[in-house]
Structure 1
């Protein structure tokens, strides 16, 4: 099975990647992760969604394509230049709110907010403030992280951090977990 056949990229992905390349931004999620995000989001009508790590908006475009008109997306990015690409290309969509600030600060300032889906694609919410982020997930809500398989751009010692994270998440008995050795390595968790 070739999982890249008939992938059907969202409308704005090529434009986003073009701008990101000009900027030197190379940390966008891959298309397989994007396709999974779109499918998961499509199954949560009227969802409240949090994306930690907008980047240039590549994953954001996949999430938006899966959203119905009753859903809303909050997308948080620390780097203003990258966030500007996402806002310029996708900002016309009224279902999304772009926030330019540190993801850790956002989490700490919104501990009582609840979301149906959280995609943590940056350090806050994935490698620190994990417990706080998991507490922001509604019952039957989804937490998804990627980039868990070894990659050439990982700094020394990062593999140990990934292993510690996986071991920590495996102990979360209030969630069901699926580990996918696919794409860049994905964990999906659903609150029981």
Structure 2
């Protein structure tokens, strides 16, 4: 088996990728991660999806590709410049709601919401407000994070934060956890039924 992705990329992916490079955005999720996001999305027909950290919409395109027509995705980011790229190429999809808002504000405003799938690709929901976001998971829901293996763009001291986050997730008794030393380092958790 080889890791090369041989499935079709989402229709908007190449245009978003080009616009992403032109905008100087360097924090996009790896293509292998995106492929996994698509596969996991396909397992939640009619699901309620959340992406924390849209960026320019590269991973968003893959999540949408895996979703069925009855599912919906809310994706948030606090950078209007990068979010506008996602809006330009994905905004016509009626299943998608894009919001330009600070992560903390969004989490506080939406505490009672429940999701079948959360991809936390920004500080809020990953390193900040973790408990609040994990409380948004329905039983059987996925919580997915990437960039858990050391990255060249990590600032000083970030490795310790990543190690601590894994320790916190491992100590929770309401999650079933898998850590993958693959792509940029992925953690997938499923919320247990109470």
TM-score range, shorter chain: over 0.9
Listed as ranges, the matches of 1:1-192 within 5 Å are: 1-192=1-192
SS in 2 for 1:143: strand
Contact 2:114 2:137 in 1 (8 A): yes
Unaligned runs of 5+ in 1: none
- Aligned mates of 1:173, 1:22 — CA distance in 2: 44
Q: Per-residue displacement from partner, 1:61-109 (whole Å, max 9, x unpaired)?
A: 0000001011000000100000000000000100000000011211111
CA shift at 1:5, angstroms? 4.1
Q: Distance in 1 between matches of 2:107 and 2:59?
A: 19
For structure 2, the residue ranges without an aligned partner over 5 or more in a row are none
CA–CA distance in structure 1, aligned partners of residues 157 and 88 of structure 2: 36
RMSD: 0.7
* In 1: Cα distance, 2:11 partner to 2:41 partner: 17
Runs (4 or more) in structure 1 with deviation over 4 Å come to: none
Tell me the matched-pair count: 192
User: Helix, strand or coil: the match of 1:167?
Assistant: helix
Contact 2:5 2:32 in 1 (8 A): no
